[in-house]
Amino acid sequence: MRLLIVEDEKRLALSLAKGLMAEGYAVDVVHDGLEGLHQASEGAYDLIVLDIMLPGMNGYRVCGALRAAGHDVPILMLTAKDGEYDEAEGLDTGADDYLTKPFSYVVLVARVKALLRRRGRTAQPVLRVGSLTVDQGSRKVERDGVEVVLTAKEFAVLEQLALRAGDVVSKAEILEHVWDFAYEGDLNIIEVYVSALRRKIGSGAIATVRGAGYRLVAGE
């Protein structure tokens, strides 16, 4: 799953990003409200962590603009303010949850996971391709009814292929959706994970389209 953090306190943003990446999420970070609105509008995110006090455009306005444009991505708002009025204003603009600074990282992760589970229940998250099922909510994979144990990155790669089953997905597209904002390594890392997936779900399940990318054809 891919998360966006919009937070102008750079040390806090980096700390949150590292922690969430360790939980298995891909994370992008921006430090400005206008840039956050643009990124959220253009990117396919599963959740946004949105600070209220931002340069360029505050979090209330970013949230309101996203909701007005029809984006239903879960939004967890962060603020240094404290008070019922601030919380009510945040929720009135369309935020799904609210956390006041300073907060426990453990609490933030719990809130993130709860929002993602809630979204998963309403989003019909089970993808089926042949004998393969990919449950986006529980992050479990089964082949012929038998669970296949995957790492967080393996699951994320397979999820991207399953979301576009039958279509060719390029290495660059997989990297964009699965790896974090700071990754500057070799695109060939994708080959390593595809090879691991083939060993676990079947060598014929993922076809290589030379020069173009990979295609999930069936869970054979």
pLDDT at 7: 95
- The Cα 141–Cα 121 span in angstroms is 17
Average per-residue pLDDT in the chain? Answer: 84
Query: pTM of this prediction?
Result: 0.59
- Give the range among 71-80, 124-133, 180-189, 207-216 with minimum mean pLDDT: 180-189
Closest CA to 7 of 133, 82, 99: 99
Phi, psi of 212 (to 5 degrees): -125, -40
Closest CA to 138 of 129, 150, 48: 150
- The Cα 33–Cα 66 span in angstroms is 12
The tokens describing 6, both together, are 């919009």
- The Cα 207–Cα 80 span in angstroms is 49
- Residue 97 — very low, low, confident or very high, per pLDDT cuts 50/70/90? confident
Q: What is the pLDDT of residues 37-47, one digit of tens each?
A: 999 998 778 99
Q: Quick check: helix, strand or coil at residue 19?
A: helix
- 210 has pLDDT over 50: yes
- The Cα 129–Cα 114 span in angstroms is 27
Q: Please state the separation of Cα 61 from the chain's center in Å.
A: 22
Q: What is the pLDDT of residues 164-209, one digit of tens each?
A: 888 899 888 888 777 654 556 677 788 888 999 999 998 889 999 9
pLDDT at 89: 56
pLDDT at 85: 47
Work out the average pLDDT over 76-103: 71
Side chain identity at residue 205, one-letter code: A
pLDDT at 80: 75
Q: What is the pLDDT of residues 131-144, one digit of tens each?
A: 899 987 777 899 98
- The Cα 63–Cα 43 span in angstroms is 15
